[in-house]
Amino acid sequence: MLSIRFILASAVIWLIIVLLKKPAAVSPADLKQLAILSLLGYGVATTLFFQAIKLLSASLASLLLYTYPLIVFTKEPG
């Protein structure tokens, strides 16, 4: 289900780019690197999130996922 959402979103984005006649400002080499980073980065994060849901309640796992950037940002060094 998650992959369908991403496929649909990318199709809509490409349709908008084509309709607005905007150039895709990403070179093929950069596109390859971006695809690899996206698959690895998002794939790992999603896998770890689903593993966390097995150990924690879904609400606690979601709360931790979305608040940890704030916790890290507001933590004083030392």
**Which helix (DSSP H) or strand (DSSP E) does residue 66 occupy?**
helix 58-74
Per-10-residue mean pLDDT of the chain, 78 residues long, equals 83 89 81 86 87 95 90 79
**pTM recorded for the entire structure:** 0.56
DSSP 24: -
- Per-residue b or e along 23-45, where b marks 16 or more CB atoms closer than 10 Å to that residue's CB: eeeeeeeeeeeeeeeeeeeeeee
pLDDT value of residue 60: 94
> For residues 6 and 52, what is the distance between their CA atoms, to the nearest angstrom?
22
> For residues 47 and 18, what is the distance between their CA atoms, to the nearest angstrom?
33
